[in-house]
Amino acid sequence: MTKDMMHHKSWNDIKANDSWAIFKIMGEFVNGYEKMSRIGPCVSVFGSARTKPEDPYYKLAEDVTRKIVESGYGIITGGGPGIMEAGNKGAHLAGGTSVGLNIDLPFEQHDNPYIDADKNLNFDYFFVRKVMFVKYSQGFVVLPGGFGTLDELFEALTLIQTHKIGRFPIILVGTEFWGGLVDWIKDTLLKKAGNISPDDLNLFALVDTPEEVCSVLDNFYKEFNLSPNF
């Protein structure tokens, strides 16, 4: 077999694998839709998997999610350690719905013990998992995190900005962490480059306390005369 033939064979194999992967992707969507459609109104909480329990932001995430549950919502996280664990822990201890959308990763990610047994979903595809966050959340609460957290934040902002999804509250928690990014958005993206419009700054809020998080959620649904139910 010549090198060209070997290359041709491997390329055909790749195309065949791509086609069969569609069924696995469909399976993840179907399973996700079936389970998530039964959870009731929830808020998604994002943040770093690397945050340790002794970190002040871990405790803040726990307090924030307790307060959100007391306001009548469940909690969805990425299901892993760090801020995600703190989010599920706060929901669990407050007696609320605690959902985990896990992703199969070679490091960092493992199930945390505070997810409801019937609400622990596992995904191979980031894009399927991200659809679940957006489709079944009444709000995004974003604590300090890394690339994954920023990815979720900016995808949601983009989808709302471009009217691909209906608006929902996006709340950044931690002025000390997020303040520099917000300043850059205002000074560089808006003023210097003109790459966003002034109204885009209204798509998110920057707060520091659990009470402020719940106030933003409550005020949003009152202002737009919406119910947080599906």
Task: Render each residue's pLDDT in the chain as its tens digit; 230 residues.
Answer: 444 444 555 656 666 678 889 999 999 999 999 999 999 999 999 999 999 999 999 999 999 999 999 999 999 999 999 999 999 999 999 999 999 999 987 775 678 999 999 999 999 999 999 999 999 999 999 999 999 999 999 999 999 999 999 999 999 999 999 999 999 999 999 999 999 999 999 999 999 999 999 999 999 998 876 655 44
Instruction: Please name each of the domains of the chain with its CATH number.
Output: 39-223 (3.40.50.450)
Per DSSP, 185 falls in state I
How far is it, in rounded angstroms, from Cα 142 to Cα 153?
7
Average pLDDT, the chain: 92
What is the Cα–Cα distance from 109 to 33, expressed in whole angstroms? 22
Radius of gyration of the chain (CA): 20
Burial of 173 per CB tally in 10 Å (0-12, 13-18, 19+): buried
Q: Do 101 and 112 form a contact (C-beta atoms < 8 A)? A: no
Picking from 72, 70, 118, the residue whose alpha carbon sits closest to that of residue 93 is: 70
DSSP state of 138: S
pTM of the model as a whole: 0.90
3-class DSSP string for 1-48? CCHHHHHHHHHHHHHHHHHHHHHHHHHHHHHHHHHHCCCCCEEEEECC
Q: Where are the alpha helices (DSSP H) in 37-102?
A: 56-70, 83-93
pLDDT at 91: 98
